[in-house]
Structure 1
Amino acid sequence: MKLDRTGFQRLFVALLMLPLLLTTMHQGEAKAVEQGTTAPQSTQLTDIVIAGQPLNNKTKSLLIDGKLMVPLKPLAEAVGASYHWDAKKKQVTLQKWAEPLVLKERLRKNKQQLTFEVVGKDVYVPLRDVSLELGYTLEKTNTQIQIQPPIHGKLKEQIYEGDLVAAREALIHLERRSVHPYIEAHRPNTELLSSVYMFPQGEALRYFTVNGDVLSLVEVKDGFPIVTYQGYVGAPFDKTFTMEYDPLELFLANKAKDQWGTYPKLNKPLIYEYTTGWGDSSTTFYGRVTIDKKEELLGTTGDPVSGLRADAKQIMKTIKLPWESRTDAQQAMG
């Protein structure tokens, strides 16, 4: 049999080059490990759907250090955030809420920080980290990554269409967001615990709450509970704490200090739940504030420290009047 010397020479050269090639690859891997980076890998694992809309199908996602990264621009546009890439400072800023989200250049000493990657001409950001920081939820299936606002699915049905009790309870337990810096609340130097929630009669998609001496209006918008109004409704607490002030008085008279947002004039009563006390010795008051700004106490639960008699027929165990039914929650206050 005649030996194909040309083919044999090529095979021989390839075998000689193999150790050199492996050495080069190992050196590259070692350098990547030393720098704490790995080469980006293109991935088509799943489709990315944000608030029901697929992310631009031209968007190419990458796997970098085990994280799914997507280009900054289409992600920011999909979640309704503005963005800025500062090449000089080597940082990316996303702005959707009052507090900006800042991603900085990767540092080996801080593996928990939010980072970005520049691949070619595009800036890539971690899909999961950015979405969660902005308040979204992530659900992964075999074919999709669903990125949703906190109010979606069954919770959305409950809050938008459920009965008043379930809808109100679900809404007040969600984390609130704001596009305006929060007013700093002043708190008394005491162990007294208190909470105030007030819903317009028949509604469940917005409520007022008092935190210290700050009153806020929270409304459901685009799947988020968003603070749309704030103002000081009491003198700042200092050395002396007093229960004499009425947190609604200045608000109802539109005399709250340092207001931001649009003052919501009321055209319907407010249903309130007000809890105050120390630990187990607390009392919850239920009632309403009428359109003409009169307060009607309808019942109490807990320890009646105020001396009010707890009448079982008057007590409301939920933030709902016995005769109250749900109306068009998006009817305007005006």
Structure 2
Amino acid sequence: MDGVQARRGCDVANGGPVEHGYPHLRTVRESVTALYRRLSYDTVRTFSVSVAPADVAFADVDDLHLGAQRVAREMVAHYRLPDARLIVGFREMTHAANVELAAGPEYFVELNDRFRDHRRDIGAALAHEVAHVYLHRLGLSFPSTRDNEILTDTTATYLGAGWLLLDAFREDGASSQKLGYLTPEEFGYVLAKRALLFGEDPSVWFTSPQAYTAYREGLALARRDAEQPPLRAAGWAGRRRYARDRRHAQGHAPGHARAPEAGRETGYRFSADGHGPLRVSFPCPTCHQRIRVPVAGRVRARCGLCRSVLECDT
């Protein structure tokens, strides 16, 4: 991409209400799928080591500008952008940070003046901004600004830098702070997906008790992803309809089966393509790519994107 794009970076909820739950879950899952499609399984596996807390630690006695440049260099190294140089400044603004995306190699990042007094969160803001640069270099984006920001938060978290964004979440009866566009639980969910993939425990790095709680909630949802075989969420009526149509399919020649109607709430899709037996498709619990397999009792399949091996009963 040529030219300069002014890109709003990290959003901030400072003192106001913090949204909770999973309102962006569909876009988050689409973001994980897009990452695997663009990067490949092998490239995602190169991000098996997260940003270390010691590498982005920022004490109040450290020089503001030198410290910010040091943390920026750590982020650039983590995202494997050796020829990118970040120039970090501070000014008053509504949002937490902005980055100007140009052809490079220099990128100008502006941080909110509040980070002069909240230096331990500078790493979180830069994790998001450098993820913007990384996606810009990849040419990976979503059409709308909102979805693109969710893609950026998801990328930062799934590739090992976004745990800092969750750790920046703090909330009590008198005040609150959150960086990024995902809810705390959504950050916890993406972080848990990464933790399950690489076998790490990021909770030991948290300094915020609210971040730990959000991570545990996200971890529970991520584990449920892997426990949902086709039709488990379909309910009694959906399973009865499936069994009826499966019997119907078995009584006809291939290509003449009538496809069952999948309920919108299930997340599972059915098809009879006219060239073989009745098939069911469902999302991979790791990368959410849709996997399409024959209706044949117990299913064992390998995801073409993340190479996860799935075994479940249809």
* TM-score normalised per structure 1: 0.25
Report which of the two has the higher share of strand: 1
Q: Which structure's CA Rg is the greater one?
A: 1
Give the TM-score, by structure 2 length.
0.26
